[in-house]
């Protein structure tokens, strides 16, 4: 009988954007009556999307995503997101092209992950 192997358990290393999101959540929690969940939802749904449109801030956030992906070992995704971050810095059309490209990259990564999971399930 073949021995089954399992994935490894690794500690979660938060990326730049996660650290920023959590810092904002911590700062807003007292203002929102101590409700950390509500503060987190506010940061995720209102603050982060608004910050993406601020000159410089959005570009810095876009540059942080490839770093996070690279640190997680997703080198192809990091390369694509890095290219899109550079495109996003082009005045006028850059932001539109970047957002469309990021959406396509995320969709392709999810599709590939599902396909890989199905192949692994068939082998068992």
Secondary structure in 3-state letters for 16-41: HHHHHHHHHHHHHCCCCCCCHHHHHH
Give residue 1's pLDDT: 55
Crossing angle for the helix pair 57-71 and 94-123, to the nearest 10 degrees? 20
Q: What is the pTM of this model?
A: 0.57
Q: Which residue has the higher pLDDT, 39 or 114?
A: 39
Average pLDDT over the chain, rounded to an integer: 83
Spell out where 1-124 has E strands.
none
Q: What is the pLDDT of residues 28-74, one digit of tens each?
A: 999 989 999 999 999 999 998 888 888 778 788 888 888 888 888 88
Give residue 124's pLDDT: 64
């Amino acid at each position: 009988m073949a021995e089954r192997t399992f994935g490894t358990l690794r500690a979660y290393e938060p990326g730049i954007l996660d650290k920023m999101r959590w810092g904002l959540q911590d700062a807003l929690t007292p203002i929102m009556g101590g409700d950390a969940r509500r503060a987190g939802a506010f940061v995720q749904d209102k603050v982060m999307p608004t910050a993406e449109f601020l000159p410089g801030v959005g570009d810095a956030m876009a540059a942080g995503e490839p770093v996070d992906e690279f640190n997680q070992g997703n080198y192809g995704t990091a390369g694509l997101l890095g290219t899109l971050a550079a495109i996003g810095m082009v005045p006028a059309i850059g932001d539109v092209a970047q957002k469309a490209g990021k959406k396509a990259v995320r969709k392709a990564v999810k599709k590939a992950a599902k396909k890989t999971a199905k192949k692994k399930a068939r082998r068992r």
